[in-house]
Structures are given as structure tokens and as C-alpha cells.
Amino acid sequence: MARAAGDTELTRGYLDLAFDVAKTEQEAAVAFSSMIENIEDFDRAAMIKLLDRLEDDTEGLVDELDAADPPESLRKGHLFLRIATTTWRGALSDSKLGLIALTEDVFDEDGLATLTRGLVDLRVGDSAYVGFLSSLTDVDTELQGGDPPIVAFVPTDLEGLFDAQKLARRLFLTENLSPIQNIAVADLRLEPASVGEQEGLPVLAITPNQTAEVTISNRGNIPIPTAISIQLSLISNAGDLWEARQEISLLAGAELTTLVFSNLPVEPGTIYEIIVTSLFDDDEDGDDRLSMLFIVNPEG
């Protein structure tokens, strides 16, 4: 009697873990297959964010299963579940790499091969999970509270969409999935800020260190790994020109950074135009430059 009770507890404990793992995989499968079905509704950043999240959500599941101690009646099923989980993990990684590569170049043969491998392995994982479900035929799953989750990364009704070449064509025809480079000068602020206004121009007080704070935004959907040069020009009403330049080494998609240009050489009573320009050659020229006029208090 005691042994039977112990076996029952062991089975219940394992099913708790196995069903939790399967539930996480089910949620990932639904999200992934929905993305494939509706890929035209995604932009590049949203697609990559979702794929990154699915990888993160499923990352530790194999380790959880490796630490499990299934009862004898579930050892075969445990092996099927571990194969499924391991295969899905690699398949998601390959699918992500392939999809990203093909959005950059629809003729990328390595990207196509990687995506093909990922989609095939998703099906392999699905088949292994069917083996896990079959192993539960003689197991009282009511010990865990009900039927196991159904997991299918490649649903039967969407089978035709999980073809790498067809997906590549859909990616090519979806403009929002193409890589976009757009470095913008998003904001320009003077510090200390103006203390008033004269003839419609902000008036600055003389300070030991007048600075300009410049916000640079990557409004594109891919990281810029090369140096981004930002130039500040200060032109007085007498025609004097002062310039400074700074570089940003890396800026991810949708990321902001702030540059500080210090010790601007401003003199009392002088009107200046300050111009900040991105020298990076990108896909959008309309936001590469910001400027403003100001006057320095003639009385210091």
C-alpha cells in the first residue's frame, strides 16, 4: 500500500512538471504559428522581439526535464518529451536566424537553408511530442488534474505555410520586414537653458560652461554597428564658425542616446545658430538635422 502511494506521488510530481513544460511549449507554439500565418502584419522589430521572447521562454525547459526523476511507467514518455523540447529549442533558433537573414536578403541561400532546417525540426519536435502523448495511454492523468496540453508548432491546418521558399517570398513582399537604417537627430537642448526671450529668440545667460545636449535616435529596425558621426556647428551673426564632432560606436534599433557638447564658445550680445547634423548615410534624410537660433545676454 505504501509503495503504491509512493508511486502515485512520484507520478503526480512528474506529471506536474511535464505538463508545465508542455504548457509553456503550447503557448510558444501558438504564438509562433500565429506569426507565420500573419507575417504580413508584423514589422521587423516586432518579429525579432517575438522570436527572442519565444527563445527565452523555452530556454530552460530541457534543463528542467534533465533534473526530473520520472517513474518507470513514464520513462519512455519522458524520453519523447525531452526529444521534443530539445528539438523545438534548436528549431526556434534556426527559424529565427533564417527569417532574419531572409528579410535582409531574400536570395540568401544559407538563410534559406537555416530556415528550412528550423521548419523541418519543428515538425520533428511535434512528432516526438505525439510519442509523449501516446505514452500516457495507461497513465492516470487525472492525478495532475486533466488532459495534457496539445502542442503543435506546425498545425495541420497551416501546414502549407511552413515552407521556407514560400515564406521567403512573403517576407520579400512585406515592406515592413525589410531592414531600415534611419539615424535621426531627435532633440537639441541647451544647458543651462534660456532665461527669457528677446525679439523672439531664447536668451542665454553667460555661464562658465554652456553645453548642448543632443538626442540621437535609431528610428530604423536594425542595429548600426559602424561609427555614427554627429557634427555640431555654431555660427555667429558675425560669420564665425565653430565645429565639434562626436561618434557613437553602436546604436540598436529603436534605441536613443544623448551626446553632450561642452564649452560652447559663446560671447555676450551675439546671436548664434546652432546646427546638429548626423553624417551617417541612411535611408531617410528628412530627420538628419536640427537647428535653433539664440542670443547670449549682452549684459552677461
Residue by residue, pLDDT tens for the chain (300 residues) are 434 445 678 888 899 999 999 999 999 999 999 999 999 999 888 898 899 999 999 999 999 999 988 988 899 999 999 999 999 999 999 999 999 888 878 788 999 999 999 999 999 999 999 999 999 887 766 655 578 899 999 999 999 999 999 999 998 888 777 777 889 999 999 999 999 998 889 999 989 899 999 999 998 777 888 899 999 999 999 999 999 999 999 888 778 999 999 999 999 999 999 999 999 988 788 899 999 999 999 875
pTM for the model: 0.63
Q: Which of 27, 235, 250 is nearest to 151 (CA)?
A: 27
Sign of CA dihedral 137, 143, 147, 151: negative
* pLDDT score at 7: 67
DSSP string for residues in 98-149: HHHHHHH-TT-HHHHHHHHHHHHHHHHHHHHHHHHHHTTTTS-GGGTTSPPP
Tell me how crowded residue 166 is: count the other CB atoms within 10 A of its CB: 11
Burial status of residue 6 (CB atoms within 10 A of its CB: 0-12, 13-18, 19 or more): exposed
- Whether 54 contacts 91, CB under 8 Å: no
Tell me how far apart the alpha carbons of residues 166 and 161 are, in angstroms, rounded to a whole number: 7
- Which helix (H) or strand (E) segment holds residue 259: the answer is strand 256-261
Overall residue count recorded for the chain in this entry: 300
Tell me how crowded residue 23 is: count the other CB atoms within 10 A of its CB: 13
* pLDDT score at 224: 85
Strands 289-296 and 228-236: unpaired
Tell me how far apart the alpha carbons of residues 162 and 8 are, in angstroms, rounded to a whole number: 41
* pLDDT score at 261: 98
First vs last C-alpha separation in the chain: 95
* pLDDT score at 57: 93
- Whether 240 contacts 170, CB under 8 Å: no
* pLDDT score at 1: 42
Cell of 52: 527572442
